[in-house]
Amino acid sequence: MRKLYASDDRFLLQSVRSELDARNIPYLVKNEFAGGAVGELPWQDTQQEIWVVDEQWFAKATAIVDGLMEPGVSPNSAQEWRCPRCREMNGAAFDYCWQCEEPRTGSHVQNS
Ligand SMILES: [Zn+2]
């Protein structure tokens, strides 16, 4: 199990969880009910943490978080795109198809 993301921003956490849910990525939330204890606990303990249960999902889960945190990209208003290869719908923040890893456009295939 590996820690994916931690925040005290409930909106961001919910966005991440929604994306993980949509992709059927197994995860756990820690400190989900610790919010009432602010002032009693060190600040770290009031953050919620999202942990990816299975290591094999971690890279994709990280890509989700990166996509969501990208400035100016709203997961709700941005345009989704359909993979030309497998017809999977992908969020606008993603440059590669979730299903088959086909690049969003064929023009900039590269390793980073
Ligand atoms: Zn695809």
Q: For 86-102, how does the pLDDT look when each residue is reduced to its tens digit (9 = 90+)?
A: 998 888 888 899 899 99
Q: Looking at the DSSP assignment, which residues form a beta bridge with residue 7?
A: 48
With beta carbons less than 8 A apart as the criterion, state whether 69 and 24 touch: no
pLDDT at 93: 82
Phi, psi of 49 (to 5 degrees): -120, 140
Ligand 1 being an ion, which residues bring their Cβ within 5 A of it? 83, 85-86, 88, 97, 99-100, 102
101 CA to centre of ligand 1 in angstroms: 6
pLDDT at 59: 93
Mean pLDDT of the chain: 80
Q: For 3-29, how does the pLDDT look when each residue is reduced to its tens digit (9 = 90+)?
A: 999 988 888 899 999 999 999 999 999
pLDDT at 107: 42
Q: CA angle at residue 96 from 73 to 29, to 5 degrees?
A: 65
With beta carbons less than 8 A apart as the criterion, state whether 28 and 53 touch: yes
Mean pLDDT of 73-81: 61
Q: How confident is the model at residue 66 (pLDDT cuts 50, 70, 90)?
A: confident
Q: Is the pLDDT of residue 67 over 60?
A: yes
Mean pLDDT of 71-100: 79
Domains of the chain and CATH, by start: 2-74 (3.30.70), 79-112 (2.30.30)
45 CA to centre of ligand 1 in angstroms: 39
